[in-house]
Amino acid sequence: MSVKIALFDAQEYDRASFDAIKENYDVECTYFDTHLTEATVSLCEGFDAICVFVNDKITSSIIDKLEKYGIRLLALRCAGYNNVDIEYAYGRLHIVRVPAYSPYAVAEHAIAMLLTSIRRIHKAYIRTRDFNFSLSGLTGFDLHGKTIGVIGTGKIGKCFIDICLGFGMKVLAFDKFPSDDPRITYTTLDEIWKNADIISLHCPLTDETMHLIDEESISKMKRGVIIVNTSRGALIDSEALLNAIKSRQVGGACLDVYEEESNLFFRDFSGHIIDDDILARLISMPNVIVSSHQAFLTNEALYNIADITLSNVTEFMASGICKNEICYKCSKFPNCTREQVNKCF
């Protein structure tokens, strides 16, 4: 019998990529525009598996309801899992994810935002559409020879570093679990704050990394530093960032993610008044670029997300085991295949 999957927060591009590939799997996909919330969780009744994205907050109470409906599997169609109460889910609900779908997509978007910002492409685009060919105020700076601090050197961080090295930049990196990649020069966070002209975030959001960029760390940075965040919004204290932009301590910010994005991003609010004053003020700044969690959005990534998600669901339904399961306690998970030491996930 086909596995019945309910997909929440399903945008038109999700439907297209899942529809294009679902014939390869014995599944039935039902799409819901809405987020999975307390108010919508009853829609899950009767499904075998639930599929959600980055801004569906899977709380203990939602997990209880899913358990009550006899649902055993939550399939994240993303890599990060900070939106799920993993500890509470342990023993109640199995969680699978897509650990990598295109690190290039995110790394390339980070660079695209950085280049747009420092070469003022966003300003030039608007000017020339109005036949204003003045160059006044559009002066940028070379990336070649600049120092970039990269925090998190996993799949995306490494792709991003490769691109930066190609530009002739000096890369300083920090990772809680440094790799032995000879191309990467690791240092401390304090050295990054002190020396970097640009800082790009590529680590997950955890209790430890929450507000990694705050008033204190910003005060240690070079005046005029550019900050790029394509990872998770809450890595940055947005109010502290706004204050630092106003005081000119931060010279530019490229934000693909925002800590309060969940009720805004992926929806059209043009014509509405946004209640979030910090986001509205950030967007009004000439040196802030915001994209709405778009870094993953390439054809290649969407294909891989759909393929790996459906493969995760069918693998788990057939055997009760999936290599992409997130286990809260590795030692208790039967046949755990994880190889990295010191990391549960």
The residues carrying an active-site annotation are 232, 261, 293
In this structure, which amino acid lies at residue 44?
Answer: C
Residue whose CB is less far from ligand NAI, 174 or 193: 174
Rounded to whole angstroms, the Cα distance separating 176 from 117 reads 29
- Residue from 67, 108, 175, 276 binding ligand NAI (CB under 6 A): 175
Residue whose CB is less far from ligand NAI, 7 or 27: 7
Using rule CB under 6 A, residue 100 touches ligand NAI? yes
**By the 8 A CB rule, do 324 and 79 touch?**
no
Question: Closest approach of Cβ 191 to ligand NAI, in Å?
Answer: 14
Question: Closest approach of Cβ 97 to ligand NAI, in Å?
Answer: 10
Rounded to whole angstroms, the Cα distance separating 21 from 283 reads 37
Please name which of 189, 184, 215 lies closest in space to residue 201, comparing C-alpha atoms.
Answer: 189
Angle among Cα 54, 58, 63 to the nearest 5 degrees reads 150
Using rule CB under 6 A, residue 94 touches ligand NAI? no
Using rule CB under 6 A, residue 231 touches ligand NAI? yes
Burial of 291 (0-12, 13-18, 19+ CB in 10 A): middle
Angle among Cα 325, 331, 337 to the nearest 5 degrees reads 45
**By the 8 A CB rule, do 172 and 162 touch?**
no
- Residue from 41, 66, 76, 79 binding ligand NAI (CB under 6 A): 79
Stretch that binds ligand NAI, among 205-213, 244-252, 271-279, 306-314 (CB under 6 A): 205-213
Residue whose CB is less far from ligand NAI, 206 or 247: 206
- Residue from 55, 83, 116, 153 binding ligand NAI (CB under 6 A): 153
Interacting residue ranges for ligand NAI, rule: CB under 6 A: 79-80, 100, 103, 106, 151-157, 174-177, 202-204, 206, 208-209, 230-232, 256-257, 293, 295-296
